[in-house]
Chain A
Amino acid sequence: QVQLQESGPGLVKPSETLSLTCAVAGYSISDGYCWGWIRQPPGKGLEWIGSFYHSKSTYYNPSLKSRIAISVDTSKNQFSLKLSSVTAADTAVYYCARQSFVWGTYRPLQFEFWGQGTLVTVSS
């Protein structure tokens, strides 16, 4: 069974960079599947941030694209999210997840396995 665990600071100051890591157990990122980040402001709905298929493609939400970067460390079997120039509007629970994908195009599909989520608050 695939397990994902988010980690990172719970409090970030406005204008700084939010950095989170997702550790994956039970499956090797380099073996396939898409992997993504989703966030959920307190009491609100879900917003996709970005996804990737290792060594093939990376997809970012256009609304966040100028501020986000997703990277992978296959030696540690983990991937990371950096979100720059944060404001209070970036306060949310951040989830990482594994996605199914389209064979051949490596395009991400539904989110199959989710981490438990980590709350990040942006405040001075």
Chain B
Amino acid sequence: EIVLTQSPGTLSLSPGERATLSCRASQSVSSSYLAWYQQKPGQAPRLLIYGASSRATDIPDRFSGSGSGTDFTLTISRLEPEDFAVYYCHQYGSSPCTFGHGTKVEVK
């Protein structure tokens, strides 16, 4: 199965700053079938990005995804207070689909 490694484990930033989260796959992710989710404490994950770079419905344009093959990035251009959360990448190009272990974006 494809292993996804997310880095860094924790990102300490201030509101208004730019956040860059990395997701590296152990094998190439076919058709750029990679998604990003945001999860806040006590809540279910929320889909942000699918197909590596397509924003899900109602997701603000400060969230963007890029990458292909084995290297993918989620960028939050300017952090809002509600963006501090844990972010997971998810590959669904190969079965079983797998998730990264998450990057926590915390207030500096």
Q: Interface size bucket, B side?
A: 20 to 34
Query: Is A47 in contact with B99, judged by CB distance below 8 angstroms?
Result: yes
Name the A residues within 8 Å of B92 (CB-CB): 108-110
Mask: chain B, 28-65; 1 = CB below 8 Å from A; 0 = not = 00000101010000011111001100001000000000
Known contacts A109-B92, A110-B92; is-contact A115 B44 (Cβ 8 Å): yes
User: Do A111 and B35 form a contact, CB below 8 Å, given A45-B100, A62-B96?
Assistant: yes
Within 8 A of B (CB), among A14-41: none
Contact B88 A45 (CB under 8 A): yes
B99 touches A48 (CB 8 A): yes
Question: In which size bucket is the chain A interface?
Answer: 20 to 34
Which B residues are in CB contact (< 8 Å) with A45? 88, 99-102
Chain A to chain B: the 5 pairs with minimum beta-carbon distance, closest first: A114-B44, A110-B50, A110-B35, A46-B99, A45-B101
B residues lining the A interface (CB < 8 Å): 1, 33, 35, 37, 43-47, 50-51, 56, 88, 90, 92, 95-102
Chain A residues with CB under 8 Å of chain B are 44-48, 59, 61-63, 95, 100, 108-112, 114-117
